[in-house]
Structure 1
């Protein structure tokens, strides 16, 4: 499968049947676009090659950023045999054959660079099978993954490899690839300036997708025809957003949405909400996350926030798509613009920690009911004061276990409705001190 393609690589003729992406594959490391931190004059890979010592590598980055191409170029630069497998189509038997062949080559004086595409797809046992051949130098491992290696790869394998991150291609890099395609085909892309920008956006940072879209335009447009933006949309479909509901794309976007709401930025929050809708995320999952944000980041600074989030979730449940998404967007804006407080969240965590640490302490007997004579004789309920019969409907009694003493978990902030709660608690605290003094 083709990968990434250099601006300035020499054109090849007589290969029109091959996809543009394959025809434009770079022949030199410095021709790879968009990864200067790795392939530039001071890049990590450039330094490795110059030192004459390549190590095991895990390439982490989105599709179409050059992982396969760079692996091939590394093998050529280090005079290694290049072998490629995909974790999607390979099993233990396939790995054994690859390892056996690599041992034979090594006996003949040639080391193998084994490129493993989608290496995160291998299970733990399969990943462990690489350890002996990596340790003894039978292979030089170069793995490629679109998922976070910290979560998807064995710690033992990670400890033997260097993780290098590849970046999604910026618009100027994609534009360089389009110019390279024009030079290769001898034709200008038959689109308006606006349509050209739209095509770059459709590629979504993927160099292979940009060239595939360009090839589709070259193939579809009649001689003398120039596509505007609407015309381009009719002919090509944009690349699907990089998003896997169980993987990094999913967690990155929900994290960005949550932090934008927490940071009181409704515009950024709406943008990430729309990104998730566009990628096909389950709206009810988003609704559940909005409910969590209402409790975790707003709490009692605006008690209505939780009601709004729950109502939006129910509205989507009732209306379905596409009408229901608007209710979730409305809730998203409400939460982002609400006063923020994590006091309730922090108080709950602190109380839970204290409950686990303190064990099974008995509440003070004066607040316990005494349904039997034995319990009455033990002092259950003795001295309890009914708050509604007290001045200000407040007795000031202590309700914590006697051996524990008073604790303060909830500390309301000076924002939103919690400002009023704070004043109320301070008032009761002063009353409690006064009435405890009198009782003493």
Structure 2
């Protein structure tokens, strides 16, 4: 502005506006001097008052009032035109916009209004609304902007906002001005007072993903009415309404986008009340691994009714994998006396599933996290962004710990400088032996007792026993108790229950792991605890039929040990069990 001259434009007085109005009415070349124009008492004064010191607004209002008073326009020279108070009012309401649409005033005022509503300031919102209505802004324009704001700036924090604003818009259409101002005020105040969230803008992240990659629809999400028999379309889809709380963990994104997060729920209002459920389910969904749900990834080129039946029960039998993981995590971390200020080292083979719970419980502390692969690191980075109050952890993957001296040095530095309270091995039988050898070696410097080395995993043999689930039921009669005792003895002798093979993805057995830890830690001192919990796991007929199939190890031994009548009693007991299907879960918890 150094070489510019700045002019400040001030509002004109009413006397100035009267002069301008008379000039426009009398000028025969650029005005309406060719006609005899009369005004009802107060009509011209009302137009001048509404112009609010703006000559252009005044001229626009006069133009519309005069040119809409005669049809067709222009009339013959010397015609008498009369502008009533009603004509003046209607011209103000009907004009395009009193302030210049191509200038700053119009856009600045609506911008101030929207920013005030978005900023939850009801006083400023009412002021700018009144300013626009007084100046003759189109009410439909204001309501359209509020409809946009109800989704963009309020969104799921208050899903009713869009309904309220739309109802006000409909009411305004029926009532009109001046009473319709009440509906404008109603909509404005509701939006100003509502909790705010712009999480709905996550749609554009999804749109960007679509524009950059057109991924194939997964087979289990395809229409099963076409090509089901030939290619297995729709095969393996789990119907959510068939499960507790009408939800089941399954992947809905294409494989190439698995683990990608678009929606991050806000913390206010309706959305805030759903936030924890969304985050917990998402963590569990990402933690589910193929072996947990027995998902068959190969394309089916040959289909059979028998194969379809087996796939149905297999997927249904493992649909509660999420429930199991949540139960394990809750029980294990309840046993850990973590404090908010604790620093920790955690080994997590579940793509950050256990880490997220640890971070929530140690919000003021720092964490060093070891994950199974790069994809898991990306998933954890995405998940941790959804928690605003946690400190972002240092993250490395197994391979880096064994091959990168920098990562190894970083871990030692974390241990020596931050003195973590806990080193936690989650589901230790899934962790490669080389990893826990390195971590166990760190316990050699435990003379300062700065940390506690803890580890947990499921006792797969004990947790696979159906007899333990049945014998825990209440109100069993004498015959049922006798059968359950016999059944428990059978599974104890067998060494496991029917779900034992569902845990066959372990890298090593509990005994192998324990022996390795014993040989690695010189001053071996261990405390072993068995944590008991349960999770919801209903059993359907097809699942039981598969368990008792004579071609399986478990089924063949069962049929040798039990009669047909006892098999029928087992079916009766399972019907009773399904009324409250709580499957026992035993978790081994070690502290060194």
**Into which bin does the TM-score normalised by the smaller protein fall?**
0.3 to 0.5
Q: Which has the higher contact order (CA 8 A, sep 6+)?
A: 1
Q: Under a length normalisation based on structure 2, what TM-score does the superposition of the two structures give?
A: 0.35
Q: Under a length normalisation based on structure 1, what TM-score does the superposition of the two structures give?
A: 0.47
Larger radius of gyration: 2
